Amino acid sequence: MDALESLAEPRRRRVVEILAQRGQLSASQICDEFDVTPQAMSQHFKVLREANVIRMEKQAQRRLYSLNPRSMEHIQSWAARMARLWIVRLNRLENALEEDAA
């Protein structure tokens, strides 16, 4: 699963938002933000890790999570390409409508 696919699930997007806002956090700190079991959240963490969206660091019994900036660059680049494509398409539509009106 790639980074974009991993973010299709709302809870996983929320994990990314939390880490972006607050920085590195433990699994329990992130789980406290959700009304699901830690086991369910563990599956979300696994998907995000495998997609390289987040990183996990073990410190004794704790698991600390942080964003992987490279994956965010990939997502931002994709979104920018899509925005440019739509701008071109909308400009063509605007020009066509103006020609029809003239």
Residue ranges per structural domain of the chain: 3-101
Q: In what order do the strands lie in the sheet with 25-26?
A: 25-26, 62-67, 54-59
What span, in angstroms and rounded, lies between the C-alpha atoms of 89 and 86? 5
Q: Between the CA of residue 63 and those of 24, 32, 46, 57, what are the distances in Å?
A: 10, 14, 12, 6
Please give the structure tokens belonging to residue 79. Answer: 């979104």
- Residue 63's beta-bridge partner residues? 58
> Considering the entire predicted model, what is its pTM?
0.79
Domain 3-101: give its CATH architecture: Orthogonal Bundle (1.10)
Which pLDDT tens digits describe the chain residue by residue (102 residues)? 889 899 999 999 999 999 999 999 999 999 999 999 999 999 999 999 999 999 999 998 899 999 998 888 888 888 999 999 999 999 999 999 999 888
